[in-house]
Structure 1
């Protein structure tokens, strides 16, 4: 392992820029304005900081664990709960990977062609849908090759992406502050409009305070990623003893980045004018905000090109780094959790320490999903849309279960690890805070869907995690029965041989 990749500062940078999402920051500003700061602060205090402490202690207590989340839960709750949770966790990332591969070419098109090629009818004299499907398959192949060559390449990609992300934050924050200083008389009016405007979720059924509640589950997932980063602790060489502290420092940096970015948008941007732009929606929001920002700086086309293409470069590299990370880490944990379930060939590692056959199978399944979705059959498209809606819930549930396991961990483990929490009462409070926050967010997400789309839609929202849990439990039970059967046969053979 190359030492320069694993210095403490670089680990903090990678953690911070992996958890922080520039698109989440702009979406938070666009959907509920400066009210997002209140919700992010609430979620930070009640969920993110407690969860960062829990993750830091767990990674410190299990520094060499390849199973990460599975090992934490198997040791402190039960192997069955651990496997089911790990399966749901992996399934949510699998669906997310498919979604990201389909979105990967939006920043690529902006970077290379200066426009969103996903909105074009033809490309290279061929139907754009065919070209984009081919590019998505090519992207899956490239990411599989990167993962094949080992974690060092993934770490380098994460670090490069992190540097670009810091540059993008500096560009947007710096530009917004520059615009604010150019027109200081507009700072307070801009902030007032951004703080008092209606939320994006406002409707006849969701008004006032209730219209802000859908943002709660979004705020939790905006702080997501600590679980994935934590599963890489055994890969950082001689920096393992510093990794847990780096998680905390990186978590603090994420909070600063979110607040700095959102406040700067509020100071330098007329919130009402952004909302009134007819061609701005949640799909192209980030690039719309950047375009609006560059037009405020100058009418020179070169300035617009620089802002747009640098944003596209940053997001393209961020998607690649994220896909490489979640294409590797969750699968690694799942394979460790199902050592007795998956074929032995899946568990074999190549010369670079990668379960490459499993990675290839994962890539082929994702490619199949991409092709089916691109063909656009109604059944597959509807199924995929439902799975995408379920992803926030499926990603949040494992966080809840890890937090629930934390008091048991504190009561059971007494070795030498980063003990940030000394008293059991405080450990129970942190766990309860995380569990309650996630539970309320999930409950209101389901409630808001039922309110807007009906009871059936609310039931379908829960269906994904439930089906994943049922399938995982089936695999676990079948494997347990087979293991007992093999053990009984072995004991019978030994008994006969002794006679």
Structure 2
């Protein structure tokens, strides 16, 4: 009986695929990709799925199965494979990516607030303490960081109950897009708002910035990699999977196909009701509000397709924009209250306590209280630097998104880079092995490293080539700063304790 009960709790193929899907798939990636590349984003999603998502996820599965008893997460994986210094550098970079995410979202969260209240993005007109545009959003972002840090240090979990509604609402957005796009297609007699002109539509972006510029197109791979982010969590699912040797790789491959098709189909659906030139090329559209512009356009297009009045179509646009705004605000708030302490707590608990200066490594009531306030100060300082840099709203969000995409994908270089060493160590018990030989492990590691490395390289240098040195500098400023901090911290630890 106990054996059967235990087996019944294990993940079978379909639940495993659903767990991977919910961990990785992000609605926001679809309208942003359409804004950047139109239909031409689709081949990059498919290519990134093959050269990054599948091999990296299988590496995470091997790591997760081998170190399932370790509490240090990715630090333990790298430390036991290569060494403590490499592990600390990689883990600190992983943590730093969430700090940069906070810089982005603290400033960008006001776009969904505006949509929730006004039915459209009005943030460029907001004025606070005499400041407008990015500066006003920067001030609001700093106040938001202080508020979230204060609430999180009090250990209040009630807010998470409210914000869990956001996750369900964002999931509903995908259903709305599918149903809405099909209804628009029917209402318009099968005509697409963004026509497909043969193979050209999937190889050439309607965005003038991408036409004839190979480096700009290659730089888009970072967006696709970012869209596949979160796959490191699947490493912990191996030992929970029934017949893991067969079920897990099958689940990874099917999930990768479903997610790639999901993103590709989503981009096609957006094209059913959104003409790139007339909707996405408007001056006020940017990476911060692209999702809301697309969804508002869905509401408007539904009205027009079925012959309602202009006023009713506009009201439908504002209604959907408000729903999207509320959904995204709740979802981002929930993520914020978790990410304000969870990555920091993991990096502190997973690494040697003596690495952390003063009282930064202290955990009180399950929370790294002192470190959280240091983190808040760093995030606020970075927000102030970016928002008071004198940019337009569009450039402001371009910088924030570029910073986040680079920061969130660079740690994959460390984790994947440790995999060949992990495979070589015979003393590490490996209950699950997908890469049967050292040669196959090395080959796929290089594929992943080259994909992530070149994607980030092109993403970093592309703005500079176009004369936008500021975005290039900000893309690398965060990772460079945090890698220097990590190096200094570990070197100090080595000297002090003669390691």
The question of a shared fold, defined as TM-score above 0.5 by the shorter chain, is answered with: yes
Q: Which residue of 2 aligns with 1:183?
A: 188
Unaligned 5+ runs, structure 2? 1-8, 304-309
TM-score of the two chains, using structure 2 as the length reference = 0.79
Q: Which residue of 1 aligns with 2:343?
A: 330
Q: Which residue of 1 aligns with 2:306?
A: none
Q: Secondary structure at the match of 2:341?
A: helix
TM-score of the two chains, using structure 1 as the length reference = 0.79
Cα shift at 1:7: 9.8
- Give, in whole Å, the separation in 2 of the partners of 1:222 and 1:271: 21
In the alignment, is the contact (CA less than 8 A) between 1:180 and 1:186 conserved in 2? yes
- Which residue of the other structure, out of 355, 361, 368, is the alignment partner of 1:341? 355
Residues 230-284 of structure 1: per-residue CA shift (max 9 Å, x gap): 69x5xx9xx9624995994765553343123112123343344334544433332
Tell whether 2:441 aligns with 1:442: no
Cα shift at 1:62: 2.1
Q: Which residue of 2 aligns with 1:362?
A: 375
- Which residue of the other structure, out of 299, 309, 318, is the alignment partner of 2:331? 318
Tell whether 2:172 aligns with 1:167: yes
Tell whether 2:240 aligns with 1:241: yes
Residues 29-68 of structure 1: per-residue CA shift (max 9 Å, x gap): 1221112110100001001111111122222222243322
- Give, in whole Å, the separation in 1 of the partners of 2:455 and 2:111: 30
Tell whether 2:38 aligns with 1:33: yes
Question: Per the alignment, do residues 329 and 242 of structure 1 end up closer, same or farther by CA in structure 2, a change over 3 Å counting?
Answer: farther
Question: Per the alignment, do residues 370 and 323 of structure 1 end up closer, same or farther by CA in structure 2, a change over 3 Å counting?
Answer: same
Q: Which residue of 2 aligns with 1:257?
A: 262
Cα shift at 1:476: 0.9
Q: Which residue of 2 aligns with 1:85?
A: 90
In the alignment, is the contact (CA less than 8 A) between 1:144 and 1:359 conserved in 2? no
- Give, in whole Å, the separation in 2 of the partners of 1:385 and 1:282: 6
Question: Per the alignment, do residues 44 and 148 of structure 1 end up closer, same or farther by CA in structure 2, a change over 3 Å counting?
Answer: farther
Q: Which residue of 2 aligns with 1:304?
A: 317
- Give, in whole Å, the separation in 2 of the partners of 1:136 and 1:103: 12
Q: Secondary structure at the match of 2:288?
A: coil
In the alignment, is the contact (CA less than 8 A) between 2:40 and 2:204 conserved in 1? no
Cα shift at 1:101: 0.7
- Give, in whole Å, the separation in 2 of the partners of 1:387 and 1:33: 21
Tell whether 2:207 aligns with 1:200: yes
- Which residue of the other structure, out of 26, 42, 46, is the alignment partner of 2:47? 42
Which of the two has greater helix per residue? 1
Q: Secondary structure at the match of 1:402?
A: helix
Q: Which residue of 2 aligns with 1:285?
A: 290
Question: Per the alignment, do residues 386 and 159 of structure 1 end up closer, same or farther by CA in structure 2, a change over 3 Å counting?
Answer: closer
Cα shift at 1:226: 2.7
- Which residue of the other structure, out of 52, 66, 74, is the alignment partner of 2:71? 66
Question: Per the alignment, do residues 18 and 323 of structure 1 end up closer, same or farther by CA in structure 2, a change over 3 Å counting?
Answer: farther
Unaligned 5+ runs, structure 1? 1-5, 486-499
Tell whether 2:222 aligns with 1:217: yes
- Give, in whole Å, the separation in 1 of the partners of 2:32 and 2:398: 20
- Give, in whole Å, the separation in 1 of the partners of 2:484 and 2:381: 24
Q: CA RMSD in A?
A: 4.0
- Give, in whole Å, the separation in 1 of the partners of 2:190 and 2:24: 35
Deviates more, 1:113-122 or 1:169-178: 113-122
Question: Per the alignment, do residues 388 and 197 of structure 1 end up closer, same or farther by CA in structure 2, a change over 3 Å counting?
Answer: closer
Q: Which residue of 2 aligns with 1:491?
A: none
Cα shift at 1:169: 0.5
Question: Per the alignment, do residues 65 and 354 of structure 1 end up closer, same or farther by CA in structure 2, a change over 3 Å counting?
Answer: farther
Q: Secondary structure at the match of 1:186?
A: coil
- Residues 116-135 of structure 1: pairs in structure 2 closer than 5 A: 116-122=121-127, 133=139
- Give, in whole Å, the separation in 1 of the partners of 2:397 and 2:38: 30
Number of aligned pairs?
A: 467
Tell whether 2:112 aligns with 1:107: yes
